[in-house]
Amino acid sequence: MSIERISPREAQQRLRQGAFLIDVREPHEHAGGHAQGAALVPKASLLAEPARHLPAGGAQALLICQSGGRSLEAAQMLRTAGFAQVASIDGGTSGWMAEGLPMVVPEQDAHTRDFNERYARHLLLPQVGQAGQRRLRASRVLLVGAGGLGSPAAFYLAAAGVGTLRIADDDVVERSNLQRQILHAEARVSMPKVASAAVALQALNPGVCVEAVPERVTAGNVDRLLDGIDVVVDGADNFATRYVLNDACVRLGKPLVYGAVQRFEGQASVFDAGRHRGQLPCYRCLFPAPPPPELAPDCAQAGVLGVLPGLVGMIQASEAIKLLLGIGEPLSGRLLHVDALTMRFHEMRLAADPACPVCAPGAVSEQPSTNGADQVRAG
């Protein structure tokens, strides 16, 4: 038997005749208001204990959500469980409001309203929810580089609500950057990249704290830059920086989200050897020494497809968010390679090098020589 679907006005008429209204949305969704007279019972709670929440005496239960999908699904599940007197309201709360029917709008401060509205889609995810979103807000991420990889990573981390983004880059915006470095704009050419990044990110999400550090990562400042940081996103463009960053992350137990691009190809991984010595690899396990300069020309020499850093940078942002929330399966021990010309992805397993001078059990994670890598670019 199909579930009865009724309009908001018909629902209001039935309420006058003794029907019972149940709003099955999540608590944060009530920020914009709910139908007057509705009992606020999240869908999961209703389905877990229907006898507790459904009306006694044979009265009909009218279920309402935001647009009608979840209420219909809940009604179908209740019908299957033997509760026959249920109906779903088409159009949900949005339709109720559009019809001008009575609403109850709770009082909320501006901060709470912004939180509930801005992160509404995250709050619907069981893996995130209110607790996860608050965890993101309390998190601190170091972004090394505000260029091709750092731009999309920073945008999505700010949009996701990561509370503090510390961005380290000693470069200035050049017109040639604008083909791929989407944090920046024509009007900010010649501005320090970290200052330009702060302008863009604050415009997107004023609640995010952007710590702009106009410095290149070196052995002398890396510990200071990593202080208080939860996850590091590597958008560096040279091997020297990558080795310094990797070694410090191993020593201090910080997960490092790696990305690199060149021409039409990119790769990404997560190096978390500092917290899992002997089990997961570090960057030096993959690249013990930098390749010859002729095998690793920079973007200025080899070129790069403008959208490719966006693709890889978004993968890095996704990995960082997963690490901050402790969800999913990170790219630890795996190298993901993408070929944009064929749009093919393939994955290579990475093992910890038992002889690695940095991350092997018992190794002292200092700053081994980069073998002249200061002049070598990573794309």
DSSP string, 53-86: HSPSTTPPEEEE-SSSHHHHHHHHHHHHTT--SE
Active centre residues (catalytic): 299
Specify the length of the chain in residues.
Answer: 379
Residues 6+ apart with CB under 8 A from 155: 182, 183, 200, 201, 204, 317
Return the SS3 of 365.
coil
Q: Say how far apart CA 180 and CA 192 lie, in whole Å.
A: 17
CA-based nearest residue to 216, from 168, 163, 270, 167: 168
Q: What are phi and psi of 20, to 5 degrees?
A: -120, 130
The structure tokens 């794309």 sit at 379
Whole-angstrom CA distances from 375 to 144, 239, 288, 297, 378 are 18, 8, 17, 10, 10
The structure tokens 């966006």 sit at 310
DSSP string, 138-189: T-EEEEE-SSTTHHHHHHHHHHHT-SEEEEE---B--GGGGGT-TT--GGGT
Q: Say how far apart CA 320 and CA 154 lie, in whole Å.
A: 11
